[in-house]
Amino acid sequence: MLSPHQVQILRRLTHHKAVICVTTGCDAMPAKPLGDKRKRPLFWVPVKDMQALESYGALELHKDGYRVAKSAERRLKYGRDGTAKNQHYSLEERDVYIQGGVKRKAAVNTRLTTLDRLARRTDYDGRPLLDAPLIEAGERFTCDYHASGHGLTATQRYDIAGVEEGGHSNNAEDQFIRAADAKARVQEAREAMGAGLDVAVVAVCCLDQSLEAVERAERWASGSGLTVLKLGLQKLSAHYGTVAGVKRGASKPDPLPDPYPYAERNVHARTKTHARRK
């Protein structure tokens, strides 16, 4: 396990693309930009920390000195520290829904839920399995599902910290009202999806079950879970109105406005006919 000071050394080496030049008879090694020995060192790395990083596998010996290993760079890029567990992190900045259905920017681990894993997969033609409106609809439904009390929620929440005027309070009455509103939204969304389709959406998006587990539990044909999930998310997307150009609850985009209303259309037609006769 690396110490915070050693992780900071790795971050500085990666940021400056520095190389630790090997010297003898010193308690610290110079880290120079791009391994250029003609330049002044950016900072000095203690020998004990360098040996610890090398034994951990974070440093590799090259002709010009010690460089940060590619695996360590990936862990630093996709994780919060230099530990081995963060090789399973894939952080991406997204718009997520918080309390009240408001969008906020947040760093999301795209390898965390089943819906995120499906969003990163593609079909044989290279197209994503789930479009962005379907993913957004699934995330909104998941937020309402957990806020209604159906799913597991944390015992301590910081997004509803009490504010004296105009903010959220954390008393029992407000918690009950928020849960009741979310429960009503969940019921409306499930009615919009229809019986059968909501089972796949709840299992994958809210309960984080795999498609194979849903197919076994519902005794569906192998490979049919994705089709049922996409149909349910399409109904849900139409209900929430996440498709650009489609109103909430509509199934088709709004038609373009008629450039010539009825009265103007007749005048325009007569003008064109008169021009032809001339």
Strands ordered across the beta sheet of 66-68: 43-46, 28-33, 18-20, 66-68, 59-61
71-74 contacts, C-beta under 8 A, 24 or more apart? 72/10, 72/14, 73/14
The answer, as to whether pTM is greater than 0.85, is no
Q: Is 33 helix (H, G, I), strand (E, B) or coil?
A: strand
28 vs 150: CA distance, rounded Å: 57
Question: For the chain, what is the largest distance between any 2 Cα atoms, rounded to a whole number of angstroms?
Answer: 103
Instruction: Give yes or no for a contact between 249 and 238, defined as CB atoms under 8 angstroms apart.
Output: yes
When mean pLDDT is compared across 113-122, 146-155, 257-266, the lowest value belongs to 257-266
Angle at Cα 183 formed by Cα 178 and Cα 187, nearest 5°? 150
Rounded to whole angstroms, what are the CA distances from 245 to 53, 135, 194, 240?
54, 17, 23, 12
247 vs 259: CA distance, rounded Å: 21
Closest by Cα among 125, 176, 127 to 148: 176
* Residue owning tokens 């790395």: 45
| Kind and range of the H or E run holding 61 | strand 59-61
* Average pLDDT, integer, range 253-272: 50
Instruction: Give yes or no for a contact between 173 and 272, defined as CB atoms under 8 angstroms apart.
Output: no
Mean pLDDT rounded to a whole number for the chain = 76
- pLDDT, tens digit, for every residue of 229-252? 999 999 999 898 887 666 666 555
If one compares 120 and 43, the residue with the highest pLDDT of the two is 43
